[in-house]
Each structure stands twice: as C-alpha cells, then as structure tokens.
Structure 1
Amino acid sequence: MAFKAALGVIALALLSPFIYERGQVSFLFWKNAPHRLVKVNTFASHEVRFSDRIRSCEDALMVESEGLAILGCDPGRERWNTVMGIFLPEPVESGKLYIFNYKDTGLSDDEALKPLEFVDFKFQADFHTLGMAYDEPTSTLFVASHRHDYPAIEMFKLDLKAYTATHLRSIQHPLIHGPNSIVLINDHEFYVTNDHHFVIRDYPILNQLETNLGLPGGSVVYVDISPTLTDPEVPVQASVVARLSFANGIELLNDTTAVVASSAKATVYFFSVSKPDSNAVSGLPRFTPVSEFRVPFAPDNLSVSKDGALIIAGHPHVPSLGKFAKTRHICNSPEELAKADARMQETCKTISAPSWAARWTEDGGLTTLYTDVEYPSSATAVRDSDRKTGIISGLYAKGILVWKE
C-alpha cells in the first residue's frame, strides 16, 4: 500500500509542472473570452482600411525604405485551412499579394492598395498564403503556400514599381510539411517553422492531442537552396534545428539570437544561434534555448521594428477564433448567408475573435499595444518606428488595421 502511495506521489510530482502549465493556458482562454476581455488601445489613432477589397491577410511585411507594405491575403482560407482543419468543398478562392503605400497618406484607397500581377506562376489558382519574408537587395519574396498537392515555399521576383511578381521556383522538401513562418538569413538560406508534426489533414486526432497536450511536435527547419540555384534537379538542403509545441512566428533579433513563438504554450522562446564552424562535419547552425517569456494570448507571427522592439500579434481566445473561422464561408458570402437559418444569420452579426498586439524590449519587457474585438483575429503586427506607423493584419479579418503613434 505504501509502495502504491509512493508511486502516486512520484507521478503527481512529475505531472505537476505539466498540469500547472496547461492550466495556465486554459485560464488565459477563460479570462480572455470576448465578454471578459479588458480592452486596451495605446494608439494615437487607428482605422480599418480596405475592408471591401481584401480579407484574411495572415502576414504583412514592411519595406521601410520605400514606405510600402507587402500583404498576403487568402480569402480561400474560409474553405481551405490546413492549420485549423477546415476542408470544405470547392470552389476555393486563391490568394493574392498586394502592395500598400502607407507612406503617402494623401492617396485614395484605390491608389494606396495595388494587387501584384503574377508572371509565370503556374500555381496561381492554388495559392494559399501564410508566412512571408522579403530579401530587399534582390527583391525576392518567399511565401509559404499550402497547396492542395503539397505545401511549398514560393519564390517571386518583385517589381514594386510595375506591381509584378514573377515566379522563380517552388521549394518543397519532406521536412517542410507544414510551413508557417519564414525568416531569412540571406538570399539563399532561411529558417521556416512547421506548426505541427502531425498535420491535421492526415492525422486529425493526433494533431489535436499534439496541440492540447503542448507536445513539442512543431519544428524549426534550416533550409539552404543554393544547390537548387545551381542545378534545379538537385534538391534543397533542409534540417531540423529546434523543436517546440505549435511553432509559429519566427524572427532574428540579430545574427546570434532567434525568437520563436509557441501558440500552444502562450510563450515566446529565445535561442542562441551558433554558426557552423568551417571544419564542422554537418555545416548546420545550432539552436540553443536560452530564455523565454509568457504572453497573455496565443502568439502568432513576430516582427522586429528598426528600433529593436519585438512586435507580437496573436489570439487571446482561441475557442472564439475557431468558431469565427468555421462561419466565415457563410458570413462572408451573400449567397450562403441568404440560405442560412435565423440562428446562423444572428451569429454572423455578433460573433468575433479578439485581437492582441504587444511590444517586447529587453529593457521594458512586454507592453500591450492593442486588445479589442473591433478588428478580429490578429495574426501579424508590423511597425515602422521612424514613421510611427503600424499595421495589424487578421487571419480572418476584412481589411487591415493601420495605426499611428
């Protein structure tokens, strides 16, 4: 009897950190329910723009030298979401890329927002955007796209004056099975996160267990495309350099520090990045965990402003986000909404998915910038610290939120 009791005490001691951590995350979701959410707005002014032209813009990048933002918007996410497990029948609308001129504030909406015209892009009809990264010296854009056949990182040569995106190549590899966020090392090397090990399309139950138990199935993959640039028949080089639960946004604070968001843990992790020694056999960078901090929401994408601040956007109430996502194909379609029953029509009027954007600095710690239900499902926040302008883009939102400090 004493032996069984001892085993119980040992088991409880081993499980206590896990139970406490998952309890903390669950409490956040209770606390951040839309009717309990404490709203915060630190902006001098803000407005939601282009709500009649674009929606479901998961990622946004700022080209600060030009005063332009690149937006990746995918209305097809309402029917095809390989992260959240929404697989509805065709037709599935394809995604597009846009250029937003935030520098010239006197422009009309038509002048300020321009779609990019694809050139030589044979997957244009099956383009479903998630994370993006832009190499300004070569004008090369990398976009994670969850195509129906297999995910890919699509590479484009951008002409920001002519508003064209010329497709260069598709990057695919077995280790890039669920690409989410991308950060560039240079024009031929990058890191990409896979949010899960078990992709929900193939393993729905295991995917949910991986998420809800906070298991470290997500990964950070180092990719070198230089062999393919020399010979298109040679595959890219890819290796896993870190694993964590629901790996989402990734950024480089500097050459030796990477930051990765874990949506399932409501935590942001810092890694020391060691460059490979010239005599090393593997030639791979090494990720070593160094620190972490919790955030009061499920962090999605990360960005770094010129003044060194880490900008974090995410989802304070994941249950609301799930319900919001599953109704978008009806609520955003006049035809489907007209056929819906009274309960669904009322849901479309009232349901929301709260947003949260925050800033972190080493000296000041974490500061909330915006928390509200006015603009839903924040996935990315980017900031031009010189122009005191920022953008929040929403996973399932109409338009983008533009703020002034």
Structure 2
Amino acid sequence: MSRTIPFIAVLLAVFLYRSGSMIKNSVLFKTTLPVGYVANGDYAADCKPLGPGSEPDPLNALTYCEDAVLWELYGKVGDARPSSRLLLTTCDANRKSWNTVMGPLRDPNPRGTLWVYPSTSQRSQPKRVTLKDYPEGHDFHPLGFEVWPSYGGNSSNLYVINHARERTVIEQFAINPSNPTIAKHIRTISSPYFVSPNSVALTSPDSFYVTNDHLITRRWPIIGPIVPSLESIFALPLSFISHVTLKPPSAEPRSSEIENHIFAAKFIAFPNGISVSSNGRQAAVASSSLGRVFFYSRDPATNILTPQNDKTVTLPFCPDNVRFTEGEGEFGEGGEDELLVAGHPHFPSIIALAKNVPGATSGSWVVSIIPSTGHDQRSFDTQAAVSASQFVSAGPGYTLKTLFQSNGELEEGGFASSTTGIRDPDTGAIYVAGLYAEKGVMECRPKGGL
C-alpha cells in the first residue's frame, strides 16, 4: 500500500502534465460561444449552409460532413497559381448508426456521399458526385480524403478513407475537371497497417501519409467498446503515421496494391488530421487527446517525419483535421503557410451528440496557426468573439487567429461539430465541415476581405 499511493500519484502527475490543459479547456468546462462568428465578417449575413439541399432521400443528403478540400485546377504544369478551385467534401448521413471511431457500429447501410461545389465569387448549389464502377455491395463510409491537383485538364487521383463494415480501407478514384460530378473507382487499397486510418496527406499522385488514430478499435470483440475510449481519455501514445507508396493500377488481381510502407512517425496519442506544407518539407498532425498540433520536419527522400519539439501548439479545443494554406499576410513571415485547424470545444458534448442524446449539441471552433516573429505573444486573437488567448498562450514563432466559432445551436442558426476548416486564398471564402452538422458544410464569404 505504501508503494501504491506514490505510484498512483506519479501517474496522476504525468497525466495532468500531459493533458491538464485539454482537460480544463475541453472536458471540465464548456466554453460559452456565440451563435456564430466569422473573422472579418458578419456571421448572419456572410455565412450560409451548403446542405442539406433538396435531396429527396435524407440519407443521401449533404449532411454530417467530415472532411473538405479545395481541388486546385491549373492551366498547365508550371503555372504558379491555379486558375480555379472546386470544393470537395465527404459526408455520411448515416453516421449516427455507423461510426467506427466514436460508435455505434449498428447499421452500415446505406452508403455515404461525395459532393462538389465551385469555390467562386458567386454562390451556387453543391452537386453529388456519382461513384462510377464502384463495386456492388461494397460499403462506402468516407472519412478523411485528399485529391491531387489537375494540370491542363487531366484527371486527378482522389483517395478516400472508407470505414466499411468488415475493415477500414482506402478507395482510389479518378476525377476529371471536365465532369467533376463523376468519380471513377480505380481500386480498393487494403493493408494490415491500416489499423484505424483517419486522415490522408498526399506526397505524390501515388503516395501518401495516413494517420491511424487508435491501436485498439471498436471493431474488436468484447474490449472494443471500452479500450479505445481509455486510449483516448488517457492520451496513450500507442498510434502511428504510415507512409504508403502504391504500385501502378493493374487489372490483374494481386496480394497487395502497396509497393512500399514505412512507419513515418510513432508513439502518438490519437493522431487525427494530417497535412503537408506546400514546399513538402513540413507536416502537421493533430492530437485530439492532447489538444495539440505537432509539427514535423519531413525528409522528401525518405518520407520520415522528425518531431519539431519547439513547434508544438496547444489549442483551446480538441483538434480534428488540419490543412496548410497560403498565408493571408497579416503576420506571416517569408510567405510561410498558415495551418487551419478545426475542432471540438467541449469533448463530452460531441460524445453526447454522437450518442443522439436528446437536446445535445456541440460547438465549432476554427483557428489559423500563423508563423510569426517579433510580435507580442501575450496579446493575440483580439478580434474573436471568444479569444483563444483566454485559454492558451502563443509560443515563440507563431500566433493564433480565430476564423470561425459557433455554439452549434441549430435552432438559433448555429453550426455544430466542426471537423475541417479551409480557406480559399483568392476569394477569402471559408468553409467549415461538421461531423454531426445537419447543415453539412458552412460557407462564409466575409465582406471584410481576408
């Protein structure tokens, strides 16, 4: 007994040291957020939902959307900037019946959906993407995804993580800007290293990083409903990031579609979203359990990710997906990318929403991590309705700016459960996807500019 108490005390001290900020900001206390806030704009006037639209079948509507990406279309190889961009998003109206990360695993029918939307100065209607040649009887429950840019009108490779009923796989599609409402299925990629894939970040048209958010998943019998939750709650660093290089597509059946696999980074607690910078030499990974974003130096020759321990960023919410984007120039130095991070301000609320608790809702928060030198790190995010500076400190080399906030109250016009935030560098439009948002994706076009 005399040894047990000190041992427990040490474990508790380590737990609080690693997770204390996240527990205080995102578990014990629920931050009071506004109905809606968008940087440099008016939420009520500038923000409109893209879903659910007029889809006659509610289970095929643009709702409950997890990830979003801007598909860049270049006139030709070598162009400095894309001529246009299309928004793609992954949605699953059946998420409350089938969610392999948060549960439940009740009914994997019907399939989820992909949607396309032009990111232009004028609003229009999103269109559902048809999955051409998709295997009959094969589930489709999309989570993280990414698409390679198109040059000169050529087709792009699109990779989507699919939480199917038997196991999680990655689906490869080809999509062409001349007909972006059709995604031709190329192949299903499976691997024993795909333990719990969550997010992908492309390094070429045929290679990518993939995060595995847990070592033990809800698919396991008996321990499945319990152990993954303990892994999350105690922020156990059991998970990893893989880098995968694919073989060329083939009509012949073979044992594996993977040419090469490496463990790019190990021992991470709940690695969720991942993104690679525009120069290819940096990667960012969200740790949902710790409420932090880890930055890594990337070796393009080996694809190994080396932690940049001096660039760990603590956030006032549980981060979900991350996206590098072109800086807006307010604080950025040397043209460095900013990192947009979306997440969940109150973790128990997102759990209650997933469990369909009556009256449950979950807020949204999107920030930009901006490279910064020579600025007062004690005063930042001063324009936000609820400033991140109330909860966390900005470290050396960066500052934080809130781009979007909402309490998630649907009846008041709020937007719930943000998982992804992206910004069009040309139009200034901000898009926010919501995991359990009935409105699917929120589009904000701030009249105040970038």
Structures share fold, TM-score greater than 0.5: yes
Q: Secondary structure at the match of 2:349?
A: helix
Alpha-carbon distance in 1 for matches of 2:123, 2:313: 40
Structure 1 residue 26 and structure 2 residue 20: aligned?
no
What is the correspondence of 1:216-227 to structure 2 with a 5 Å cutoff? 216-226=237-247
- Cα distance change on mapping 1:11 and 1:42 into 2, 3 Å: same
Alpha-carbon distance in 2 for matches of 1:323, 1:30: 13
What is the correspondence of 1:166-181 to structure 2 with a 5 Å cutoff? 166-181=184-199
Structure 1 residue 295 and structure 2 residue 315: aligned?
yes
Q: Secondary structure at the match of 1:77?
A: coil
What is the correspondence of 1:5-404 to structure 2 with a 5 Å cutoff? 12=9, 15-30=12-27, 33=30, 36-37=32-33, 40-44=37-41, 45-52=46-53, 53-64=61-72, 65=82, 66-89=84-107, 92-107=109-124, 112-122=125-135, 126-137=139-150, 138-162=155-179, 163-202=181-220, 203-226=224-247, 233-235=254-256, 236=258, 237-243=260-266, 244-253=268-277, 254-276=279-301, 284-291=302-309, 292-307=312-327, 308-327=337-356, 347=358, 350-363=359-372, 364-373=398-407, 374-399=414-439, 400-404=441-445
- Cα distance change on mapping 1:103 and 1:124 into 2, 3 Å: farther
- Cα distance change on mapping 1:11 and 1:98 into 2, 3 Å: closer
Q: Which moved more, 1:98-107 or 1:148-157?
A: 98-107
Q: Which moved more, 1:123-132 or 1:251-260?
A: 123-132
CA contact (8 A) 1:191 1:220 kept: yes
Question: Structure 1: which amino acid aligns with 2:174?
Answer: K
Q: Secondary structure at the match of 2:405?
A: strand
Deviation at 1:190, TM superposition (A): 0.5
Aligned residues: 369
Between the two proteins, what is the percent identity of the paired residues?
30
Question: Structure 2: which amino acid aligns with 1:382?
Answer: I
Q: Secondary structure at the match of 2:88?
A: strand
In the TM superposition, structure 1's runs of 4+ consecutive aligned residues that sit over 4 Å from their partners are 7-15, 227-232
Alpha-carbon distance in 2 for matches of 1:47, 1:128: 26
Question: Structure 1: which amino acid aligns with 2:18?
Answer: E
* The structure with more helix, counted as a fraction of residues: 1
Alpha-carbon distance in 2 for matches of 1:316, 1:176: 29
Deviation at 1:8, TM superposition (A): 6.3
Alpha-carbon distance in 2 for matches of 1:352, 1:201: 26
Q: Secondary structure at the match of 1:19?
A: helix
Q: Secondary structure at the match of 1:81?
A: coil
Deviation at 1:19, TM superposition (A): 2.3
Question: Structure 1: which amino acid aligns with 2:135?
Answer: K
Q: Secondary structure at the match of 1:300?
A: strand
CA contact (8 A) 1:392 1:402 kept: yes
Alpha-carbon distance in 1 for matches of 2:130, 2:29: 40
- Cα distance change on mapping 1:197 and 1:119 into 2, 3 Å: same
Deviations 1:273-308 (A, max 9, x none): 2244xxxxxxx4322111311101110011111232
CA contact (8 A) 2:218 2:225 kept: yes
Alpha-carbon distance in 2 for matches of 1:206, 1:27: 23
Question: Structure 2: which amino acid aligns with 1:273?
Answer: R
Deviations 1:197-244 (A, max 9, x none): 001221332211211110112211110112666975152132222120
Normalising to structure 1: TM-score of the pair? 0.84
Alpha-carbon distance in 2 for matches of 1:13, 1:95: 45
Provide structure 2 residue ranges, at least 5 long, that are not aligned to the other structure.
54-60, 73-81, 328-336, 373-397, 408-413
CA contact (8 A) 1:144 1:151 kept: yes
Question: Structure 1: which amino acid aligns with 2:349?
Answer: S
Alpha-carbon distance in 1 for matches of 2:422, 2:123: 21
Deviation at 1:261, TM superposition (A): 0.4
Question: Structure 1: which amino acid aligns with 2:213?
Answer: D
